[in-house]
Chains A and B, each alone.
Chain A
Amino acid sequence: GNSVTQMEGPVTLSEEAFLTINCTYTATGYPSLFWYVQYPGEGLQLLLKATKADDKGSNKGFEATYRKETTSFHLEKGSVQVSDSAVYFCALSGTGNQFYFGTGTSLTVIP
């Protein structure tokens, strides 16, 4: 079956620190991979995506590379800001058009 496992939180970082949030997946076939973000008081929104192996998704300074060999899609940012404080969800979409989400990782960035 399809599933996503992501790093447990919460994560607290100082401003300008390096961020990694780990995500691994199990899927049949060749899924697309996504990171969604939920800012306080807002709905989930797409942060970045990658649709095939070795693709790199990027947006707002965040990056994630689709690694088929390690079934991973880790989220990284070189220098986090206070405004990046949010909950981050890794997700995949497979052949059945369903989207499967991880449990979310809460990030707090302190000045």
Chain B
Amino acid sequence: GAGVSQTPSNKVTEKGKYVELRCDPISGHTALYWYRQSLGQGPEFLIYFQGTGAADDSGLPNDRFFAVRPEGSVSTLKIQRTERGDSAVYLCASSLLAGRTGELFFGEGSRLTVL
């Protein structure tokens, strides 16, 4: 399809394990965003890529979280030593034009549950 694809759609893991979440943006979109959404809350900004580089990673909560986008397309969000508080839906969005007038196109999210 032509939309933003996120895998896995659901991930259940145990506390302390390592997790990778993948995002495949819309072809040609240079801007890519990761958000985290907890139940009953709005999306919380984590990191924004423009091309291959992280233009703003100020939303990453701590050094257990890391994201890469090595070829300027697919991105992977990596979470080390997972904690129960990391349980949330992780959303990826891409945009042709970053920021102000650019529309974000969201994937359906990866639901992470840490037991």
A102, B48: Cα distance in complex, Å: 18
Size of interface on B: residues with Cβ below 8 Å to A = 29
Judge whether B112 is part of the interface by a CB distance below 8 angstroms.
no
A4, B44: Cα distance in complex, Å: 12
Judge whether A98 is part of the interface by a CB distance below 8 angstroms.
yes
- Taking the nearest CB of chain A, how far is it from the CB of B9, in angstroms? 11
Q: Which residues of chain A have C-beta atoms less than 8 A from B93's C-beta?
A: 44, 99
Q: Which residues of chain A have C-beta atoms less than 8 A from B91's C-beta?
A: 43-44
- Taking the nearest CB of chain B, how far is it from the CB of A105, in angstroms? 10
Complex partner residue of A104 from B41, B50, B55, CB under 8 angstroms: B41
A42, B48: Cα distance in complex, Å: 22
Q: Which of A42, A45, A95 has the most CB of B within 10 A?
A: A45
Contact with A along B37-72 (1 / 0, CB 8 A): 000111111001010000110010000000000000
Contact status A49-B103, CB under 8 Å:
yes
Question: What is the chain B residue whose CB lies nearest that of A90?
Answer: B42
- Taking the nearest CB of chain A, how far is it from the CB of B23, in angstroms? 12
Contact with B along A77-111 (1 / 0, CB 8 A): 00000000000010101111111111110000000
Complex partner residue of A98 from B45, B101, B105, CB under 8 angstroms: B45
- Taking the nearest CB of chain A, how far is it from the CB of B100, in angstroms? 4
Q: Which residues of chain A have C-beta atoms less than 8 A from B74's C-beta?
A: none
Contact status A102-B42, CB under 8 Å:
yes
A32, B99: Cα distance in complex, Å: 8
With A43-B91, A43-B109, A45-B106: A98-B56 Cβ-Cβ less than 8 Å = yes
